[in-house]
A and B are shown apart, each in its own frame.
Chain A
Amino acid sequence: MSMSPFRLPLAANPLAPTPGIFDHALTVGIVGVAVGLLIISPVIFFILHRAGKTSPELNRELYTRYRSWLFIAPLMLAPILLGRIYAILSVGLLSLLCYREYSQATGLFRHRLLSFTVVLGILLLTFASADHWYGLFVALPSLTITVIVIGALLADSPAGYIQRVALAVFGLLLFGACLGHLAYFANDQLFRPLLLLILASVELNDIFAFVVGKTLGQRRLVPNTSPGKTLTGALGALVLTTTFFAFLARSLFAGTVLDHPIHLITMGLLLSLAGQCGDLVLSSIKRDLGIKDMASTLPGHGGLLDRFDSLLLVAPVLFHYIGYFLGVGMDQPVRIFSGGAG
């Protein structure tokens, strides 16, 4: 408490890129493969189309999705490569945009004061990550809920009180608190390979479930929630994603307590399970609301949430697993902007 707020080694410029962009082999590998895929995909589509393997509709669908990826992929990769503050701010922006789609789909956006409180909560959570202030980060969800619960009283109209409050709290927790953990990861020294590995594994998890399900799938997993998902697809993704993650995460955790097959496999399983469940959470929300997509922002995908749903639950689950055994960002400076103690 006695420390002056000006003691900060405010690294001259907090917006300066974090050094050591390609220090880790995993960063080079994942970025390389992603760029490679973006270059080679149209060639593969062309060959498949020429060979008559894809119908004109499928071909068009593939190109639409590909064009969206040309936008999304750089927007995901660039902030992580640039540095921690950029990664944190872009996750904060993603949280806000996801909340926006959610509030428009549920109708919560009409309650401006509540919506504003949730937005403020998300902004403060982003600040807590950027500041590397864990105390604030864990305090904010309950504090914001307090404000939401009280703010919803002000209208003095009890009809629909529970629904309004519950929708706001659900939105805050899913997009602010849960997704916010992805931003907090950026406080770790190894945030680049770590975040890239999580993003790559979650994307692959979706693809594995889809491909395995389409080729081998028979029994439906949850026909009412998401008719396209099969049990085989889910199990296939579980096995393949876990293998992928465990194999690559070794280099990240080398020399630590997590460098053990049990831990690596557990993390892979948790990631795959949380990823598939996040997908189902969003399917349930959409079914309940009776809408097909969360928005029409990304041609071929739907809304941003339709694309990033699998990340929602993965972030907190992995964060706290790693946090429990290793800690996240333990050797890094804390309270960078606010300058208080721990």
Chain B
Amino acid sequence: MKEWEYRTAADQDLPPGEKLRSLKREAGLASFLAQSCWRLFVYGYLLTYHRLRIVGREHLPPAPPFVLVSNHSSHLDALSLASCLPWRLRQRAFPIAAGDHFFETPISAFFSALMFNALPMWRHRCGRHALDELRERLVGEPAIYILFPEGTRSRDGEVARFKSGIGMLVAGSKIPVVPCYLQGAHEALPPHRSLPRPRKLVLRIGPPEAFEETENKSSGWKEISNRLETAVKGLGSQGEGRTT
């Protein structure tokens, strides 16, 4: 007879507050139900208020693990990117969010974790250790990460330089990275506005890239972030001629 194998929740021994902020957080039944309702609401909102159009869905890998990277100009970005995934994959998608912004207070941590399913990245200690932990989860679960390599929202709508953290996450692995470009988000909800305007959003998804051959060191990380930056900017300029 086969021995039973128990897989205790990875965050089982953490006190409630730490659970929310932990990279090991696992969603239980209650958060799953809350997130499902929230996703349904967000999807409806994006489709009606922002008339969200998604181009290039065929480029999405059929199964996790993979990473979506995109330009970052508003709080609508992570919501729109999660909405391009098929329903069965949406619960596996984790936006990587700035810990010091989205997980600072217990209330913001509660909403970021429960509603957005976000995982915190602390800007003051986003070194190898944190990224290794993230990569372990990405492959082990397997999961989907939504990541903004610019590190912060663009203030003028232009795509800023990509930081090399994305390189540390995927260098030397088979994990596909899907470049995306979300157009219209800066006009709809720029950083200084608190309520969104009903502007049209277009999400372009490009073909995935993998970096198995790239060396897992500083020069390789830089190379990866440069290549992805070019791909995302390329998707951005693609749209300029057509959607006006």
Contacts and interface: CB of A to CB of B under 8 A. Distances in A.
B14 A291 contact: no
Interface in B9-39: 9, 12-16, 26, 28-30, 32
Interface string A162-193: 01000000000000000000000000000000
Interface string A85-111: 000000000000000100111110110
Interface in A104-131: 104-107, 109-110, 112, 115-116, 119
B9 A109 contact: yes
A104 B26 CA distance: 9
Contact of A105 (B5, B12, B15): B12
B28 A100 contact: yes
Nearest to B91: A112
B6 interface: yes
A107 B13 CA distance: 13
A296 interface: yes
Contacts, number: 51
B244 interface: no
B13 A291 contact: yes
Contacts of A106: 6, 8
Contact of B8 (A112, A115, A289, A299): A289
B156 to A, nearest CB: 44
A2 to B, nearest CB: 40
- What class of interface size applies to chain A in its complex with B? 20 to 34
Given A296-B14, A297-B15, A107 B7 contact: yes
A289 B29 CA distance: 21
Given A107-B6, A107-B7, A289-B6, A295 B12 contact: yes
B29 A115 contact: yes
B178 to A, nearest CB: 26
B15 A110 contact: no
Contacts of A116: 29
Interface string A285-302: 000111111011101000
B105 to A, nearest CB: 20
Nearest to A113: B29
Nearest to A298: B15
A109 B28 contact: yes
